[in-house]
Copies of this chain bind each other. A is one copy, B any other.
């Protein structure tokens, strides 16, 4: 499926990125969006104090931005004292030992999008469960094997970016296997939501892999109802776990 570049969809997407209630539609720059996502990851201890961040390229890929954008965002966060940079062997970029509570306007814009994000999660949840239910009625053994290979790829990922890429391919493939024309719209919803994903540490993703495997098992059994229920649980975990709902 080609990436959606339709002007109407762009405007929907822009509205989703806008600060609700603002007099004018304020869209975050790519740098500010990365700042917000990293600050929120730190705030919610997805990155613990003192923890090393992934290499720049992996971070940029995981957040779907250019490396230059990620580098500039990191530089501003070093200036703010949220991150520290250490040179030499064992060096890199680390979360500060006691990162300051930053009242960041970019973070506030993200927080203000909470309701729109929940709408997107609910949309994805229902759309994806309908797609896998349809896929269960027509999927072949070989296609199930292909899906399982994508689950393996996600599980073997050593960076969040690699996980995110495998996860995206898994869900796209499930949608395609439904054979429904609506799969393209689902893809739009998935991609809108992906712009809000925070770079989870890999050790938080065990549940995701188990759920992916359970979806493939249900598809293999031709059990559309179970595939739908499992998908609902899988996407539903975003409602609990995405940044705005994480326990402080």
Residues of A within 8 A of B (CB): 6-12, 14-16, 18, 20-21, 25, 112-113, 115-116, 118-119, 122-123, 125-127, 129-131, 133-134, 137, 180-182, 184-186, 188-189, 224-225, 228, 232
Copies of this chain present in the complex amount to: 2
Q: Is the Cβ of B225 less than 8 Å from the Cβ of A122?
A: no
Given A9-B116, A123-B127, A126-B180, 8 other A-B contacts at CB below 8 A?
Answer: A6-B20, A8-B15, A8-B113, A11-B25, A122-B182, A123-B123, A126-B186, A129-B133
Q: Is the Cβ of A12 less than 8 Å from the Cβ of B116?
A: yes
Shortest A103–chain B CB gap in Å is 21
Chain B residue, CB-CB nearest to A11: B15
Shortest A145–chain B CB gap in Å is 24
Q: Is the Cβ of A185 less than 8 Å from the Cβ of B123?
A: yes
The A contact surface, by secondary structure, is helix
Q: Contacts A122-B185, A130-B228, A224-B225; is A18 near B9 (CB within 8 Å)? A: no
Counting from the closest, the 5 A-B pairs by CB-CB distance are: A122-B185, A7-B20, A8-B20, A8-B116, A15-B15
Query: Which of B11, B25, B118 is close to A20, meaning CB atoms less than 8 Å apart?
Result: B11
Chain B residue, CB-CB nearest to A112: B8
Instruction: Jot down 15 A-B pairs with beta carbons below 8 A, ordered by A.
Output: A9-B116, A11-B15, A12-B116, A14-B15, A119-B185, A122-B182, A122-B184, A123-B123, A125-B182, A126-B131, A126-B180, A129-B133, A137-B225, A180-B232, A224-B225
